[in-house]
Amino acid sequence: MKSEYKHPLLKTIADFVLHYGGLSPHNQSTFDPVVIRCCGEDATFRVVSTVISPISLFHIQYVRVVAMMYGRVWAKRYEGQSRRIMLDPAFAQLVLIGSHDYESVCASDVIQRTVARIQDKDRIPTYSVNMVFVPVYEGGRWWCLIFSFNRAEIVVVDAAFSKRASEVHDLSVGKLIHAMDLVLQQADQTWQTGLLWGYETGVVMLEVVKECSDRLLQSTMLVDLQNKRLRLLCDDITCEFNEVKHETEAFLNRWRLGVRGIKGIDQKVEQSMEELTE
């Protein structure tokens, strides 16, 4: 199956990652520029290269950076409406791997940053927030828990267990509900303790999840998934809230137009990126 590249940078990004090898153990290059930056968080070339391969897991730093960036995208898209927030993946890691003393967990910097993101100086937080997305890295895979406050729902999204996600992640979901309940108590004094336990827990067949799960038995699945990942990375690199968007685009275009095939490519590319970021 042939790849369909619609954005002018798609093929350039794919070729560039293929040339440099990303996080491959065979990659001996020290070249690792920042290609996505948002709200003080950086994703370097090696970090974003994990998005390209259909058999690689997204680097946790990539999820951390885009969580901040997506928050800004949603804030602009839904300006004046209820908020959507995607948490740092460290939240779930702390809750699932850390101490079972939730009061101690809630005193941590990670949780306090989460509380600060949910708080709203102008409105009651739990009324102003529509959804909270909790990315979870567990058992060598990613899945997501979504708290939908306006629908009083807790949604489990997992491409590998699209119909049994709630059952498979039942224990972890319980821990995350407990932790989120305590976070909401800190963020909103009007929040009723234990309210989340009355929310309906289910599985959402998001279009992308359904597509991935439906194609598990198709020979083209890996190619399709690779193209989806590539489009995702291209969208994130070219996002208006990527603070190094213009530098990254200029660098990739410069590499596409003249640097490839030139002897001493590493030195030329590194020099090119340094010039753009100075």
pLDDT value at 270 more than 60? no
What's the CA gap between 202 and 105, in Å, rounded?
A: 26
Contact call for residues 127 and 168 (beta carbons, < 8 A): no
What's the CA gap between 34 and 213, in Å, rounded?
A: 33
Q: Using CB atoms within 10 Å of the CB of residue 76, give its burial: 0 to 12 exposed, 13 to 18 middle, 19+ buried.
A: exposed
Listed in sequence order, the residues at least 6 apart from 170 whose beta carbon sits closer than 8 Å to its beta carbon are none
DSSP string, 57-72: PPPHHHHHHHHHHHHH
Sheet holding 153-157, edge to edge: 83-86, 129-138, 141-148, 153-157, 200-203
pLDDT tens per residue, range 161-176: 656 666 677 889 899 9
Q: What is the mean pLDDT of residues 245-266?
A: 70
What's the CA gap between 175 and 187, in Å, rounded?
A: 19
List, by residue range, all CATH 3.30.310.130 domains of the chain. Answer: 82-204
What's the CA gap between 143 and 121, in Å, rounded?
A: 31
* Mean pLDDT, the chain, integer: 76
Domain 82-204 has CATH 3.40.50.1980: no
Q: Would you state the pLDDT for residue 239?
A: 94
Q: Would you state the pLDDT for residue 76?
A: 92
pLDDT tens per residue, range 197-239: 888 776 543 343 344 444 443 444 445 667 788 888 999 999 9
Q: What is the mean pLDDT of residues 169-184?
A: 88
DSSP 8-class letter at 259: I
pLDDT tens per residue, range 119-167: 776 666 667 888 899 999 988 888 899 998 888 888 888 876 656 666 6
pLDDT bracket for residue 265 (50, 70, 90): very low
Q: Count Cα atoms within 13 angstroms, Cβ side, for 252.
A: 23
